[in-house]
Amino acid sequence: MKKSKTLILSLLSLLPMTLGGLVGCSVSSNGGTNSSNNGGSSPSMDEEDPTVTSLTLLANPTKLTYDVGETFDPTGARLKAVWSDGEDEEISGAECSFSPTGPLTADVTSVTLTYENASISIDITVNNSALKSISVDTTSIKTHTIEGNYIDLTQIKVLAQYFDTSKNKEVTSFELYEGETKIENPSLYEVKKGRHTIIVKYLDKTVSFLVTGFTGIAVNFNSKSIHTKATETSSELPFFVEKANTVKSYQKIDNDWNHETHVNAYRVSDNYGITDIKALAKIRIHVYSSVASYAKISLNAGGYNITRPDKGWTSDMYLNQACTLNVNDVTTDVKDGLLPANTTKEQMDKGEMGTWMPKFVDVDFAETRLKQGDNVFEINVNDFYYKNGSSQKYGETYFAIKSMTFEYIDAGEHTHNYQLMKDENSHWQECLICGDKKDEAKHSFSSIKIVKNPTNVDYEEGEIPNLEGIEVDGVCTCGDVNVTKNITANLNELRLDSSDSKTEQKQIKISCGSLSANLTITVHKTFSFAGGAKKDDSSQYYLENASDSNKNFSIWSSGTIGDLKADTELKYHVYAPYAGKYSLSIVGASQCSNAERVKGKDKDGKEVDFVKESFDMYADKFMTLNVNGTDTSFLSDAKFDGITLPSDFQQQGITSSVYVLGHYTKAVVAKDLELKEGDNVITLKTKSKDEILYQNKYRTAWTDNQEATINIKNVAIAYYGE
C-alpha cells in the first residue's frame, strides 16, 4: 500500500525545529535577527491521503475455468493500481481480496478483485456439471476405538461424483457436523462412548459415517514391552511380553535355504512391535484388566507366509491357520483374519519385486472372558510350511503384532452361554458372556493315568530316574484334569536284577493321593571309563597317547581330563562284551562363559571374584565323533548344561568359580552306535579354534580371543540291543 501523504507532510513540518537557527534565522546588517518565514505560511496539515482511483488488469489469473465446487485461485493475476496523487504501482492478485470466496456454483460468471477501495471484475467459466453425489473413504482413520482417544477426521477422503463422470474428483473444501453442530476442530476429535454419526457436507450434498467409542484396553508393543522374567502385573504395569523361546529357523548358505539354525522365536522392536514371529513360537502376553468382562480382541498386525525366500515371493496368511490361542489356560477359537502378502506370485510373474516387510491391518482375533487382574494370552504358532509339493522348507510363518485392543462387551439382557470350566480343585458351568457360575463341585477322581511319559524313559545303571516332562491326569466326571504337580514317586538308584542282564524293564509307581499308575522305564547295562593314563592292552579301556605335552589338556589325579582345548584328539579303546547297539554318554563341565564377573568374599573374608555364569555347550558345535573309523553324528540336543551363580552365593558358602565352571552334567551324546565285540576305538576330536570362536561363538571366561574348553570326568557306553 502506498504511504499516507499526511504522514509525509507531518514529518516535513518538523524540519525547521530540528535544523534550528541554521535554516530558520538570518543575521541583519545591524546585528539583529530576522525570521526566515517573513510572514509566510507552513505546509497544509489538512491535505487528504491518496486513494486508489482505478484498477487495470495487466494479466489474467492462470486459471479461468472451474468446475462446480472449486474455489477461485488468483495466482498469476497482475494489476495496475492508479492513485489519486497521480502515482501508479503494479500489484499481484494475491494482494487483492476477491468475491465470491467459497465453492463456486454454476451461476457464477465473474469474480471481483478489490484493492484498497477500487475493484475490477474478471470473467471466469464455471462448468455447469451437475453434482450427483459425494462419497467418503474412512480407511485412513480409526472409526472404532476406545473412548477418550482422539482421531484426525481431516484424514478422510471425500470424492465428488458428477453426472459428467469425467469430472469426478477428490475434494477438500468439505465441512463436518455431528448432528446439527459443526465440528470446529476436526483434526482433534475426541471420541466419546457410543455411536456417533459424522455428517460430511459439500455444496448441497451430504454423506455420513459412524464413529464408535467403546470401553476397553489398548496396548501398543515396543522394546519396553519385553520382560526376561514373568511377574504378576499391576495397574502400574498394565501389560508385558515374556522372553522369547528358542526355535529352529533356516538360513541361506550357498543359495540353499535348508540350513537350520537356532534363534529366538520373536523379538520386540519400537517400529514393528512383536515382530519376526517364527514357526513354533510360543508368545505369552500378560494384560491387566481393571474389571472382569467379556471382550472382543483385535490386532493391528501384518504377516506373510514365505513361499519362495529365494524369489521374495510371499502368500496371504490367515490367523486361524497360523496359530492357536490359550487365554488363562483355556483354549480359545482364533478368527479367520487375513494378513495380506506384500509380494504375491502374480506380482513376481509381472516382474514386480516386492518386500518381506509386513503390511499392517486391523483384524479380528478372538472373543474371550477376561478376569480382573492379570490375563495371560498364549499364542502358539504352527509349523506353517507352504504345501508346494517341494521338500524345501520354504514357507515359514512370519508375522508381527503392533498392538492389541480389547473391547469390553456389556452383557445386558442376554441368553446365557454356559461352558464347562475347571481348575485344579473343582469344576463348574460358567457363562462366557457375563461370567455367571453354577453347579460348582469338587473333583472326584476314579483313577489316574499317565498321558505323557517323562522326557527320558531309558536309563543306565546307577542313575536316578527323572520325571521331568511327565503329565498325569485324574479321571473325573467333568473329564480329565491335570494333576501332575500333585503326584509323588519313590525314585531310587537303578540297578539290574542280574549281572547277566543286558536290559531290564522296571516299573515306577506314580501316586496321587490313594490312586496310582505305573510308569515303565528301561535300564541298560552300562560300562564306564574315565580319562586316566594309558593302561595295558588287556584293560577294558585305555586312552591312547594320553599326553599333555602340547598343553591342550590336562589329566588330573582323579582321571578327569581338564581344560580340553581346540584341535585335540582323544582316542579311547573300549572293550564291548557283546556286539550290538550302544549309547555313548559323557559327564562333562562347560567352560563356556562370558567375561562378566561378580565380587565377593570367601569364608575367610578374602576378596575374590567369581565367574557369573556358564552357557550350554552343545557337543556337535564343539567336537566330532568317530567310531571304529566311521564318522558319526552327535545328537543335536546333546549338551553340557550351563549354570548361573545364585545371587545369595555368599550365604550358601560358595567360595570358588568351580561352582560355575566345574558344573558337571551327564549328556547322552549319541545313540545306536554299532560296536563290535571286543576292542572298539571311539575318537573324540575338538574342532579348530576358529570354528569354536567364530562359528559357535564359544568363549572362555577370561578373554574373547580364547576358545572355550570342556572338562570330561567320565565316558560310558550302554547296551541297547542287537
Long-range Cβ contact pairs of 340-346 (< 8 A, separation 24 or more): 340/316, 341/304, 341/305, 341/314, 341/315, 341/316, 341/317, 342/304, 342/314, 343/304, 343/312, 343/313, 343/314, 344/313, 344/314, 344/315, 344/316, 345/307, 345/313, 345/315
Residue 130: its pLDDT value, please? 76
Q: Which residue has the cell 474455489?
A: 71
Residue 42: its pLDDT value, please? 43
In one-letter notation, the amino acid at residue 671 is K
pLDDT band of 397, cuts 50, 70, 90: low
pLDDT band of 253, cuts 50, 70, 90: low
Cell numbers standing for residue 620: 556337535
Residue 376: its pLDDT value, please? 93
Distance CA(603)–CA(605), nearest Å, equals: 5
Q: In this model, does residue 6 exceed pLDDT 50?
A: no
pLDDT band of 136, cuts 50, 70, 90: very high
How would you classify the pairing of strands 97-99 and 25-27?
unpaired
Higher local confidence (pLDDT), 330 or 405: 405
Residue 313: its pLDDT value, please? 61
Contact criterion met (CB below 8 Å) for 157 and 140: yes
Higher local confidence (pLDDT), 698 or 92: 92
What is the gyration radius of the CA atoms in the chain, in angstroms?
Answer: 43
Interval 272-279 mean pLDDT: 88
pLDDT band of 668, cuts 50, 70, 90: very high
How would you classify the pairing of strands 65-67 and 52-59?
unpaired
The HSE-up count of residue 620 (CA atoms within 13 Å, CB side) is 12
Predicted confidence (pLDDT) per residue in 467-507, tens digit: 999 999 999 999 999 999 999 999 999 999 988 889 999 99
Least confident range from 298-302, 548-552, 575-579, 669-673: namely: 548-552
Cell numbers standing for residue 634: 552327535
Distance CA(214)–CA(193), nearest Å, equals: 5
Higher local confidence (pLDDT), 158 or 238: 158
Interval 106-131 mean pLDDT: 89
CATH number of 447-524: 2.60.40.3630
Q: What is the CATH T-level fold of the domain 131-214, as seen in this structure?
A: Immunoglobulin-like (2.60.40)
* Helix, coil or strand: residue 484: helix
Please count the other Cβ atoms lying within 10 Å of the Cβ belonging to residue 72. Answer: 23
Residue 26: its pLDDT value, please? 37
Predicted confidence (pLDDT) per residue in 326-377, tens digit: 998 888 999 988 888 776 666 656 655 555 577 888 899 998 888 888 899 9
Higher local confidence (pLDDT), 515 or 394: 515
Higher local confidence (pLDDT), 110 or 646: 110
Predicted confidence (pLDDT) per residue in 60-100, tens digit: 999 999 887 788 999 999 999 999 998 999 999 999 999 99
pLDDT band of 402, cuts 50, 70, 90: very high
Cell numbers standing for residue 14: 518538523
Q: Which of 195, 150, 204 is nearest to 174 (CA)?
A: 204
Please count the other Cβ atoms lying within 10 Å of the Cβ belonging to residue 623. Answer: 23
pLDDT band of 252, cuts 50, 70, 90: low
Q: Is 88 exposed, middle or buried (0-12, 13-18, 19+ CB in 10 A)?
A: middle
Q: Do domains 52-127 and 131-214 have the same CATH topology?
A: yes
Residue 163: its pLDDT value, please? 78
Residue 116 pairs in a beta bridge with: none
Domain locations along the chain: 5-34, 52-127, 131-214, 221-409, 447-524, 527-721
Distance CA(114)–CA(96), nearest Å, equals: 5
Q: Which of 446, 406, 444, 439 is nearest to 421 (CA)?
A: 439
* Helix, coil or strand: residue 708: coil
Contact criterion met (CB below 8 Å) for 447 and 515: yes
Residue 701: its pLDDT value, please? 59
Using CA atoms, how far residue 420 sits from 335, 440, 479, in Å, is 22, 10, 10
Name the strand (E) or helix (H) holding 320. Answer: helix 319-322
Q: In this model, does residue 38 exceed pLDDT 60?
A: no
Using CA atoms, how far residue 704 sits from 323, 564, 692, in Å, is 40, 17, 11
CATH number of 527-721: 2.60.120.260
Residue 131: its pLDDT value, please? 82
CATH architecture of 52-127: Sandwich (2.60)
DSSP 5-70: HHHHHHHHHTHHHHHTHHHHEEE-TTS-EEESSTT--PPPS-PPPP-EEEEEEEE--S--EEETT-
2.40.50, 1.10.150, 2.60.120, 2.60.40: which CATH number matches 221-409?
Answer: 2.60.120
* Helix, coil or strand: residue 295: strand
Higher local confidence (pLDDT), 25 or 406: 406
Residue 258: its pLDDT value, please? 62
Q: In this model, does residue 12 exceed pLDDT 60?
A: no
pLDDT band of 22, cuts 50, 70, 90: very low
Residues in the chain: 722
Least confident range from 37-41, 189-193, 440-444: namely: 37-41
Q: Which of 549, 546, 548, 552 is nearest to 688 (CA)?
A: 552
Higher local confidence (pLDDT), 312 or 667: 667
Using CA atoms, how far residue 504 sits from 44, 194, 452, 470, in Å, is 131, 71, 21, 21
Q: In this model, does residue 532 exceed pLDDT 70?
A: no
Predicted confidence (pLDDT) per residue in 413-427, tens digit: 667 878 888 888 999
Residue 29: its pLDDT value, please? 38
